Structure 1
Amino acid sequence: MTSVVTVIGDVRDSRSAPDRQQLHDVLTLALDEVSREVPGRHALRVTAGDEFQGTYVRLGEALAGVFALRLRLSPEVGVRFGIGRGDVTVLDEATGTQDGPGWWSARAAIDAVKAAEQETGWSATRTAYRSSQESDPVQEAVNAALVCQDLLVDSWDARTWSIVRGIMQGRTHSDIASELGISRQAVQQRRSAGLPMVLAAADRLASLP
């Protein structure tokens, strides 16, 4: 057994997608890009239908991978995530089939997200973390941060996501504005609305062991 951080994700409302093949292609491309940007122990890959999985050495890497994937897919493709930590056993090397407490924790986390989405006032929930350890000192703090992150980014429209992507790529306000067909001042106004704070919080989560 090896202790890892596991990620299970799935696409929200995928059955209502007008073109499921296109959705699959967009998802797999994003998974490949994120796996190169934030390398894990096992790359993110589609496992069945609209569900995908991957593993990481550190919790921070998993959180960075999840945020990077949302950055590529939002708001057109909504995704939920369950992040777990615990021992994992490889049952079949040829197929990559795995099992163990690490995966059970990730499954419990994504089930918690699905349940929370149905609760009044919690519809923005997209991410949760569960550890198989009896006492994980960071679990509650990480989940508190994820609740705040989910709430904040849920309010972002397509233009805000585009601006955030531009900022993450290190592009100038003028370049972002030109691409979006808006003024430089409009980009600055959105940036001034707290975007750097959200990105700084994501960076701090990415540093977790």
Structure 2
Amino acid sequence: MLIPMSEARVAVIVDLVDSKRVTNRREVQREILAAFSVVDGHVNTDDPLRATVGDEFQAVYPTVAVALEATLLARLVLPEGIDCRFGLGRGDVVDVGDSVGGVIQDGSGWWLAREAINEAHRREDARTPSLRGWFRADGDDAGLEALVNAYLLSRDHIVGAMTARARRLTVGTMLGRLQGELAKEEGITQSAVSQALRRSGGGSLSAAIDELRRLAL
């Protein structure tokens, strides 16, 4: 059944890339949650990013555009050497009960998010090693899926090639900080900040998010 756009939400499942290679899992978990708190403080979320079981995290966003902004920011704010992949599913997200860990949810959004993260993992292991996210939509929405996944393929390739500094500068831009302020923190000139954003693709990523915000996805 096709869920009306006004009623659909986007469930997101996140997992840690190469979690078996992490030596200090407790410290990495702390760093990831600290990074994700930046995301939660910046985007409009129905349910903020939270740890669930093992190396997974979950969140719910009101629209595809917001989910894309949140997942981009999440990748960019992670500490160097830590990376995550994302499965996004647009469908119904229903509260079905309570548990010690919080509200229990079900619905097509979660099933599709699980399909999406499995597909991201499969493609990452195959022909697109830079890929870190995939999207599935409820109902006959192949056009939306194709558009979003084309964006994710390009976005993840750009992010994967970024230096740590380029990521920091892109995050700062997305959070609305001035280039002069970023330059002072990095110990470089404002012109160098502008050049770095152009060379790395960070400026284009930020501009793409501005365009996505204009859409009722």
Same fold (TM over 0.5): yes
Q: After the TM superposition, which residues 9-88 of structure 1 pair with which residues of structure 2 at under 5 Å, given as runs?
A: 9-73=14-78, 75-88=80-93
Is 1:175 aligned to residue 181 of structure 2?
yes
Tell me whether 194-203 or 43-52 shows the greater mean CA deviation.
194-203
**Residue 166 of structure 2: aligned partner:** 160
Tell me whether 191-200 or 140-149 shows the greater mean CA deviation.
191-200
Where 1:90 maps in the other structure, the secondary structure is strand
The residue type paired with residue 176 of structure 1 is: L
1:173/1:89 Cα in 2 relative to 1: closer, same or farther (>3 Å)? closer
Deviation at 1:45, TM superposition (A): 0.7
- The question of whether the paired residues in 2 share the 8 Å contact of 1:4 and 1:57 is answered with yes
User: Once the two structures are superposed, what CA deviation does each residue of 1:51-89 show, in whole Å capped at 9, x if it has no partner?
Assistant: 011112211111111112112115432010000011233
Tell me whether 55-64 or 27-36 shows the greater mean CA deviation.
27-36
Unaligned runs of 5+ in 2: none
- Tell me, in whole angstroms, the C-alpha distance in 1 between the residues paired with 2:30 and 2:213: 27
1:188/1:58 Cα in 2 relative to 1: closer, same or farther (>3 Å)? closer
**Residue 98 of structure 1: aligned partner:** 105
- Tell me, in whole angstroms, the C-alpha distance in 1 between the residues paired with 2:178 and 2:42: 21
- The question of whether the paired residues in 2 share the 8 Å contact of 1:6 and 1:83 is answered with yes
Unaligned runs of 5+ in 1: none
- The question of whether the paired residues in 2 share the 8 Å contact of 1:34 and 1:68 is answered with yes
**Residue 150 of structure 1: aligned partner:** 156
Deviation at 1:126, TM superposition (A): 0.6
User: Once the two structures are superposed, what CA deviation does each residue of 1:113-169 show, in whole Å capped at 9, x if it has no partner?
Assistant: 00011113x000011110121235421111111111111111101121122223334
- The question of whether the paired residues in 1 share the 8 Å contact of 2:173 and 2:206 is answered with no
Give the count of matched residue pairs.
208
- Tell me, in whole angstroms, the C-alpha distance in 1 between the residues paired with 2:155 and 2:33: 24
Tell me whether 173-182 or 17-26 shows the greater mean CA deviation.
173-182
Q: After the TM superposition, which residues 185-200 of structure 1 pair with which residues of structure 2 at under 5 Å, given as runs?
A: 185-193=191-199, 194-200=201-207
- The question of whether the paired residues in 2 share the 8 Å contact of 1:75 and 1:161 is answered with no
Percentage identity across aligned positions? 34
1:166/1:117 Cα in 2 relative to 1: closer, same or farther (>3 Å)? same
- The question of whether the paired residues in 2 share the 8 Å contact of 1:64 and 1:203 is answered with no
Q: After the TM superposition, which residues 120-159 of structure 1 pair with which residues of structure 2 at under 5 Å, given as runs?
A: 120=127, 122-159=128-165
Where 1:40 maps in the other structure, the secondary structure is coil
Runs of 4+ in 1 over 6 A off after TM superposition: none
- The question of whether the paired residues in 1 share the 8 Å contact of 2:89 and 2:112 is answered with yes
TM-score, normalisation: structure 2: 0.85
1:128/1:3 Cα in 2 relative to 1: closer, same or farther (>3 Å)? same
1:109/1:179 Cα in 2 relative to 1: closer, same or farther (>3 Å)? same
